[in-house]
């Protein structure tokens, strides 16, 4: 088969990106496959391509709702109509309609919790599933930074689906994580394809400041000097918003905040404004960027450190997709790790919360009723955050049938929480070590993901090897644009509803 | 930048939620209307759009139906903060627990603000709160779809992602089955006609939020900044313009063959709360208050609340079974004489064995029609 020909026919591209062809070939040879491809290098093309060739359905498990929605919308936008997402965004009626007509969809995205719903799963068992895709497969691993207990069940689920051809995808995986994926999914013969995590066109810089205010000044100065567009990542919504205000006071106007607290409509608008160059800079929380295919992002600034190397790599990887010179700058102030530790802490319930919960719930409860007992009311009384509560529910539900009583499960859960907490703390200190490292930053990243040092030095590598900030300044000054607010609304409306090229 | 300038800028940012906004002026104008006869929370419920009999009755009684559910996101804490702020500025003074009257100083401030920024005239929260969101979602998606159609672009992210809205657009396109150029052109004419008026609306606040092919609309915050408007004031203007459009389209549907479809499955707001509707059915079957109360296992006073709500909403609903005509007349005279809405005062003045329930029914008739 001429894969390039099919690629052009289906997607309009002339050549594959690194790793894609190998993964597709492996799947077409009917081999279970693990693909480690950095975000934004076209992971989804792999299963779309294979799905178009094989008969039957492609079932894609994806843990992040927003990411799933984005993927489905992008596939639809590119003309793939036979795609559907089953997740908690659907209301009861919509879900029924979708489930009823499931057989008519080629690509079925599903969240792990929907896989646990019996009547949905029964329906899936009756379909001919030719490819089973696990996106963000690192969530399977206890060693992964985003371990999800409901992902552990995927092995059992795969078996009950008659062990279809399987593709596990992730952006980053250490050796331990890969081992866990193979074991859990029972794909011992799997072929593993990894591309290097190195992105040679992204220069890596770390800057040290006294405190938060000094970091804000640094952001102002960078935005005035660096070539845009760019993203500035924050750990706090409030600080992202405040910085936007501050930047505006300094005459940087094409800047917007973006975070999970905004409405869906606002988030889409800002994303699209950024995509079409109406906005140059986004001050965002990590919620931003997952679904965005913007090629020409010139810089990514981290106002706060990410909680682990994996996130850092994914976030800086949003720069320079067009292959042109770009830069990633991380701003560090002494004590920043305490905020990171605090955030990590908030993702898991505390031991005293769990003791309280153990005391509070009825121990004679049977599996079927356990979700009825763990109500929102209990969540509030125990002071669980949403994310803490999700972890708790997931764990109790997925471990209930295995061994005995609720008591033993709660004890196990406490051990689990301790292990997870230690792992998260370890990851934060790995991040701090990376920031403070005085050797080549690029090699540090490569080594972290099990790759050797670079063979040849590159220019504008990192602050240790040397980089020239002037190379990241714009060549020509930005031209003045016509002020939009000077136009009247009839003109604006007419522009929306008449062809753009008319009369040109 | 020197440290001094920096701290100056940070000070601007500290007041994250600015208490002194148009919202506080709006609340002041409500306090003026209820004149200490209701607690401040009646205003809170009104702005949040609580669908209780009491809130709905008060909205009509004090002529504030236009503001119903205009701030559904308003938090109790923030509302209380505004009340405290108004009090500390001596714009209002306390007359009872949670009851305030506007002061002369407050009156002056209110008048001054309202001259500069009058409450948008087309605002009609009570009538349109149930349709406004669907209307907006449909309008934005329809325009985005048409804009991309005439540019022969099929690859874009829809601005609304719920199936309900996208199904609606699909249906409409099939139903209208026009050539894309024709469709866009006619839609453009209809929107211009609908917004082109000498009335006090700001079409800009809606038009700048619309998205088309390679032209992405602004968020509300961005539009407010662009036109240098207070965020809350922008929000009211936005709602008002939407309400204005709905008003015009529903008044002459034939003139808007495309836009009238935005109002599909909308006839009339759900006027009565569900519980009142049940009571209404019993009344129509000839049950009296006691019988309904025992049949429904509710208190008599609750049934009376329902009946007041029905009286407010149904202009044909006869009060006679509850208030004899001559009693109704007496009550009317006293209400007009006292010019108050306080039941206690009215009842004292009447000096007869007339119940609060009867007074409330007559009040309902004197209130703002729906
Ligand atoms: Zn280096």
Dump pLDDT digits (tens) for B212-258: 998 899 999 899 988 888 999 999 999 999 999 999 998 888 899 99
Chain A residue numbers with beta carbons less than 8 Å from the beta carbon of B192 are 490, 493
> How close B139 gets to chain A, by Cα (Å)?
13
Alpha-carbon distance of B178 to B320, in angstroms, equals: 55
| Both tokens assigned to A25 | 């070939």
Question: How many domains does chain B fold into?
Answer: 3
Q: Is B187 inside any structural domain?
A: yes
Confidence tier at B14 by pLDDT (50, 70, 90) = very low
Model pLDDT for residues A315-356, shown as the tens digit of each residue: 998 999 888 999 999 999 988 999 999 988 888 899 888 988
Q: What pTM was computed for the model?
A: 0.70
B141 and B201 co-located in one domain: yes
B53 and B171 co-located in one domain: no
CB-side neighbour CA atoms (13 Å) of A341: 10
For chain B, state the CA radius of gyration: 24
Domain interval for residue B154: 132-263
In this prediction, the answer to ipTM > 0.85 reads no
Give Cβ neighbours of residue A269 (< 8 Å, ≥ 6 apart): B159, B211, B216, B217, B218, B219
Model pLDDT for residues B34-51, shown as the tens digit of each residue: 999 999 999 999 999 988
Whether A205 and A326 have beta carbons less than 8 Å apart is answered as no
Name the residue among B292, B256, B258 with its Cα closest to residue B275.
Answer: B292
Chain A residue numbers with beta carbons less than 8 Å from the beta carbon of B221 are 266
Whether A397 and A371 have beta carbons less than 8 Å apart is answered as yes
- CA A106-A108-A111 angle, 5° bins: 175
| Both tokens assigned to B365 | 């008739």
State the best of A267, A487, A496 to mutate against chain B, taking most chain B CBs within 10 Å: A496
A193 DSSP β-pair partners: A35
Whether A282 and A254 have beta carbons less than 8 Å apart is answered as no
| Both tokens assigned to A251 | 């005459």
B161 in contact with chain A, both atoms CB, cutoff 8 A: yes
Model pLDDT for residues B293-324, shown as the tens digit of each residue: 998 999 999 999 889 888 877 777 888 889 98
CATH topology for A3-194? Rossmann fold (3.40.50)
What DSSP assignment string belongs to A190-246? Answer: -EEEE--S--TTEEEEEEEESSHHHHHHHHHHHHHHS-S-EEEE-S-HHHHHHHHHH
B252 and B142 co-located in one domain: yes
B268 DSSP β-pair partners: none
B222 and B164 co-located in one domain: yes
| Both tokens assigned to A284 | 């965002």
Name the residue among B35, B116, B23 with its Cα closest to residue B340.
Answer: B35
A242 in contact with chain B, both atoms CB, cutoff 8 A: yes
Whether A417 and A349 have beta carbons less than 8 Å apart is answered as yes
Asked if A493 lies within 8 A of B227 by C-beta distance, the reply is no
B291 and B259 co-located in one domain: no
Q: Tell me what pLDDT residue B5 has.
A: 39
Element (H, E) at A329: strand A326-333
Tell the residue number behind the tokens 């009058």, with chain if given.
Answer: B118
Q: Tell me what pLDDT residue A162 has.
A: 92
Q: Count of H helices and E strands in chain A?
A: 21, 13
Chain B residue numbers with beta carbons less than 8 Å from the beta carbon of A79 are 154-155
The DSSP letter of residue B215 is B
Backbone angles phi, psi at A100, to 5 degrees: -60, -40
Alpha-carbon distance of A9 to A465, in angstroms, equals: 44
B223 and B251 co-located in one domain: yes
Chain B residue numbers with beta carbons less than 8 Å from the beta carbon of A249 are 9, 12
The DSSP letter of residue B93 is E
> How close B215 gets to chain A, by Cα (Å)?
7
Distance in angstroms between the alpha carbons of the first and the last residue of chain A: 44
Q: For residue A328, report the distance from its CA to the centre of ligand 1, in Å.
A: 13
> How close A489 gets to chain B, by Cα (Å)?
5
B342 and B290 co-located in one domain: yes
> How close A141 gets to chain B, by Cα (Å)?
33
Q: Tell me what pLDDT residue A501 has.
A: 61
Closest residue of A to B217, CA-based? Answer: A269
Whether B219 and A274 have beta carbons less than 8 Å apart is answered as no
| Both tokens assigned to B155 | 């690859």
Q: For residue A460, report the distance from its CA to the centre of ligand 1, in Å.
A: 8
Question: What is the average per-residue pLDDT within B184-203?
Answer: 85
Q: For residue A200, report the distance from its CA to the centre of ligand 1, in Å.
A: 10
Q: Tell me what pLDDT residue B142 has.
A: 96
Name the residue among A156, A51, A69, A167 with its Cα closest to residue A109.
Answer: A69
Q: Tell me what pLDDT residue A503 has.
A: 39
Whether A198 and A267 have beta carbons less than 8 Å apart is answered as no
The DSSP letter of residue B64 is -
Segments in A287-329 forming alpha helices (H)? 309-316
Cα–Cα separations (whole angstroms), residue A174 to A309, B177, B195: 11, 55, 60
The Cβ of residue A380 has, within 10 Å, a number of other Cβ atoms equal to 10
Cα–Cα separations (whole angstroms), residue B19 to B73, B118, B149: 15, 19, 45
Q: Tell me what pLDDT residue B269 has.
A: 56
Alpha-carbon distance of B121 to B198, in angstroms, equals: 12
B298 and B208 co-located in one domain: no
Q: Exposed, middle or buried: residue A37 (CB in 10 Å: 0-12, 13-18, 19+)? A: buried
Name the residue among B320, B294, B295, B297 with its Cα closest to residue B307.
Answer: B320
Asked if A268 lies within 8 A of B188 by C-beta distance, the reply is no
**pLDDT by residue, tens only, chain A of 504 residues:** 789 999 998 888 888 988 899 999 999 999 999 999 876 667 889 999 999 999 999 999 988 777 787 788 888 877 788 999 988 777 778 888 888 889 999 999 998 888 888 889 999 999 999 999 999 898 888 777 777 777 888 999 999 999 999 999 988 777 888 888 999 999 989 999 988 888 899 999 999 988 888 899 889 888 988 998 999 999 999 999 999 999 988 888 899 999 988 888 898 899 889 998 999 999 999 877 766 778 899 999 999 999 999 889 989 989 998 889 999 999 999 889 999 999 888 888 998 889 888 888 777 776 667 777 788 888 888 888 888 888 888 788 777 765 567 778 888 889 989 988 998 999 999 999 999 998 999 999 999 988 899 888 888 999 888 888 888 888 755 444 545 555 688 888 888 888 876 433
B86 in contact with chain A, both atoms CB, cutoff 8 A: no
Q: What is the CATH number of the domain that holds B348?
A: 1.10.10
B304 and B326 co-located in one domain: yes
Q: Tell me what pLDDT residue B4 has.
A: 42
Alpha-carbon distance of A410 to A382, in angstroms, equals: 15
The DSSP letter of residue A454 is P
Q: Is B285 inside any structural domain?
A: yes
State the best of B139, B159, B210, B215 to mutate against chain A, taking most chain A CBs within 10 Å: B215
Backbone angles phi, psi at A85, to 5 degrees: -120, 130
Alpha-carbon distance of A277 to A292, in angstroms, equals: 13
| Both tokens assigned to A211 | 């405190």
Prior bond of B251 cis (ω within 30°): no
What's the residue count for chain A? 504
Distance in angstroms between the alpha carbons of the first and the last residue of chain B: 59
In this structure, the strands spanning A83-86 and A107-110 are: parallel
Q: Count of H helices and E strands in chain B?
A: 19, 2
Whether A37 and A138 have beta carbons less than 8 Å apart is answered as no
Q: According to CATH, where is 3.40.50.300 located in chain A?
A: 3-194, 202-334+467-497
Whether A161 and A120 have beta carbons less than 8 Å apart is answered as no
Whether A128 and A55 have beta carbons less than 8 Å apart is answered as yes
Whether A336 and A305 have beta carbons less than 8 Å apart is answered as yes
Q: Tell me what pLDDT residue B218 has.
A: 93
**Going along A24-171, which residue ranges are E strands?**
33-36, 57-61, 83-86, 107-110, 129-134, 166-170
Q: For residue A461, report the distance from its CA to the centre of ligand 1, in Å.
A: 4
A144 DSSP β-pair partners: none
- Domain boundary (B206, B236, B263) is at B263
- Domain boundary (B66, B89, B119) is at B119
Say how far residue A400 (Cα) sits from the centre of its chain.
Answer: 29
Whether B37 and B345 have beta carbons less than 8 Å apart is answered as no
Q: Tell me what pLDDT residue A477 has.
A: 52
Whether B240 and B201 have beta carbons less than 8 Å apart is answered as yes
B235 and B303 co-located in one domain: no
Closest residue of A to B16, CA-based? Answer: A242
Chain A residue numbers with beta carbons less than 8 Å from the beta carbon of B188 are 493-494, 496-498
CATH for the stretch A202-334+467-497: 3.40.50.300
Element (H, E) at A330: strand A326-333
Sign (positive/negative) of CA torsion B169, B174, B179, B185?
A: negative
Residue-wise burial string across B320-350, b where 16 or more C-beta atoms lie within 10 A, e elsewhere: eebbeeebbebbeebbeeeeebeeeebbebb
Closest residue of A to B144, CA-based? Answer: A496
Alpha-carbon distance of B108 to B26, in angstroms, equals: 14
Model pLDDT for residues B99-153, shown as the tens digit of each residue: 999 999 999 999 999 988 999 999 999 889 888 999 999 999 999 999 999 998 8
Chain A residue numbers with beta carbons less than 8 Å from the beta carbon of B151 are 499-501
CB-side neighbour CA atoms (13 Å) of B365: 18
Name the residue among A289, A283, A287 with its Cα closest to residue A303.
Answer: A283
Torsion of CA B185, B186, B188, B193, to 10 degrees: 140
B144 and B28 co-located in one domain: no
B320 and B221 co-located in one domain: no
Whether A193 and A19 have beta carbons less than 8 Å apart is answered as yes
């Amino acid at each position: 088969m001429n894969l390039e020909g099919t690629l052009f026919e289906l997607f309009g591209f002339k050549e594959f990106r690194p790793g894609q062809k190998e993964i597709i070939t492996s799947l077409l040879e009917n081999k279970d496959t693990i693909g480690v491809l950095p975000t934004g290098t076209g992971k989804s093309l792999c299963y779309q391509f294979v799905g178009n060739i094989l008969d039957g359905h492609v079932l894609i498990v994806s843990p992040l709702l927003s990411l799933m929605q984005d993927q489905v919308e992008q596939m639809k936008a590119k003309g793939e109509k036979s795609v559907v997402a089953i997740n908690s965004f659907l209301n009861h009626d919509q879900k029924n309609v979708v489930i009823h007509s499931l057989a008519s969809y080629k690509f079925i995205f599903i969240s792990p919790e929907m896989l646990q719903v019996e009547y949905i799963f029964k329906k899936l068992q009756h379909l001919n599933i030719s490819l089973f895709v696990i996106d963000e497969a690192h969530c399977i691993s206890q060693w992964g930074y985003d371990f999800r207990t409901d992902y552990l069940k995927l092995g059992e689920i795969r078996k009950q689906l008659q062990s279809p051809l399987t593709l596990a995808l992730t952006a980053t995986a250490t050796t331990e994580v890969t081992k866990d994926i193979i074991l859990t999914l029972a794909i011992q013969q799997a072929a593993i394809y990894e591309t290097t995590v190195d992105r040679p066109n992204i220069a890596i810089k770390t800057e040290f400041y006294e405190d938060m205010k000094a970091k804000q000044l640094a952001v102002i100065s960078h935005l005035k000097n660096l070539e845009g567009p760019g993203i500035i990542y924050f750990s706090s919504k409030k600080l992202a918003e405040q910085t936007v205000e501050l930047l505006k006071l300094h005459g940087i106007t094409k800047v917007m905040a973006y975070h999970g607290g905004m409405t869906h409509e606002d988030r889409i608008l800002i994303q699209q404004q950024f995509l079409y160059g109406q906005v140059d800079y986004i001050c965002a929380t990590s919620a931003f960027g997952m679904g965005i295919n913007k090629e020409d992002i010139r810089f990514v600034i981290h106002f706060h450190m990410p909680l682990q190397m994996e996130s850092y790599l994914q976030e800086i990887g949003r720069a320079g997709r067009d292959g042109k010179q770009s830069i990633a700058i991380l701003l560090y102030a002494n004590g920043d790790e305490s905020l990171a530790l605090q955030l990590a802490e908030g993702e898991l319930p505390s031991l005293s919360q769990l003791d309280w919960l153990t005391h509070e719930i009825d121990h004679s409860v049977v599996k079927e009723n356990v979700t009825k007992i763990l109500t929102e009311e209990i969540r509030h009384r125990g002071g669980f955050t949403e994310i803490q509560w999700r972890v708790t529910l997931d764990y109790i539900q997925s471990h209930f049938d295995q061994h005995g009583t609720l008591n033993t499960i709660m004890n196990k859960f406490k051990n689990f929480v301790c292990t997870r907490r230690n792992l998260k703390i370890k990851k934060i200190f790995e991040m701090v070590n990376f920031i403070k490292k005085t050797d080549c930053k690029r090699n540090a990243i490569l080594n972290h993901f099990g790759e050797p040092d670079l063979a040849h030095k590159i220019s504008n590598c990192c602050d240790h090897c040397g980089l020239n900030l002037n190379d990241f300044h714009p060549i020509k000054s930005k031209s003045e644009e016509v002020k939009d607010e000077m136009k009247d609304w009839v003109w604006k409306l007419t522009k929306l509803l008449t062809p753009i090229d008319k009369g040109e | 930048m020197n440290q001094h300038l920096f701290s100056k800028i940070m000070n601007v940012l500290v007041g994250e939620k600015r208490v002194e906004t148009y919202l506080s002026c709006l609340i002041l104008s409500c306090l003026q209307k209820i004149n200490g006869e209701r607690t401040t929370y009646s205003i809170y419920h009104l702005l949040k759009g609580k669908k209780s009999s009491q809130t709905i009755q008060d909205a009509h009684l004090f002529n504030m139906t236009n503001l119903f559910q205009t701030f559904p996101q308003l938090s109790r804490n923030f509302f209380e903060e505004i009340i405290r702020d108004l009090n500390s500025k001596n714009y209002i003074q306390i007359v009872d627990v949670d009851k305030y009257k506007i002061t002369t100083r407050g009156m002056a401030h209110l008048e001054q603000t309202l001259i500069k920024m009058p409450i948008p005239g087309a605002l009609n929260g009570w009538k349109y709160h149930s349709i406004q969101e669907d209307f907006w979602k449909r309008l934005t998606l329809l325009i985005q779809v048409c804009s991309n159609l005439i540019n022969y672009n099929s690859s874009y992210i829809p601005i609304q992602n719920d199936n309900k809205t996208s199904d609606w657009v699909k249906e409409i396109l099939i139903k209208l089955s026009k050539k894309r150029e024709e469709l866009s052109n006619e839609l453009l004419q209809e929107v211009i006609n609908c917004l082109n008026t000498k009335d006090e609306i700001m079409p800009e606040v809606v038009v700048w939020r619309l998205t088309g092919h390679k032209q992405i609309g602004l968020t509300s915050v961005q539009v407010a900044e662009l036109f240098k408007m207070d965020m809350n004031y922008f929000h009211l203007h936005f709602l008002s313009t939407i309400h204005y459009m709905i008003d015009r389209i529903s008044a002459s549907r034939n003139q808007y063959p495309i836009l009238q479809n935005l109002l599909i499955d909308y006839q009339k707001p759900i006027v009565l709360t569900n519980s009142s509707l049940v009571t209404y059915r019993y009344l129509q079957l000839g049950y009296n208050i006691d019988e309904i109360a025992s049949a429904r296992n509710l208190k008599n006073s609750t049934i009376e609340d329902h009946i007041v709500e029905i009286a407010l909403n149904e202009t044909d609903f006869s009060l006679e079974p509850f208030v004899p005509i001559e009693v109704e007349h007496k009550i009317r005279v006293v209400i007009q004489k006292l010019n108050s809405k306080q039941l206690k005062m009215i009842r004292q003045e009447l000096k007869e064995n007339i119940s609060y329930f009867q007074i409330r029914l007559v009040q309902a008739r004197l209130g703002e029609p729906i």
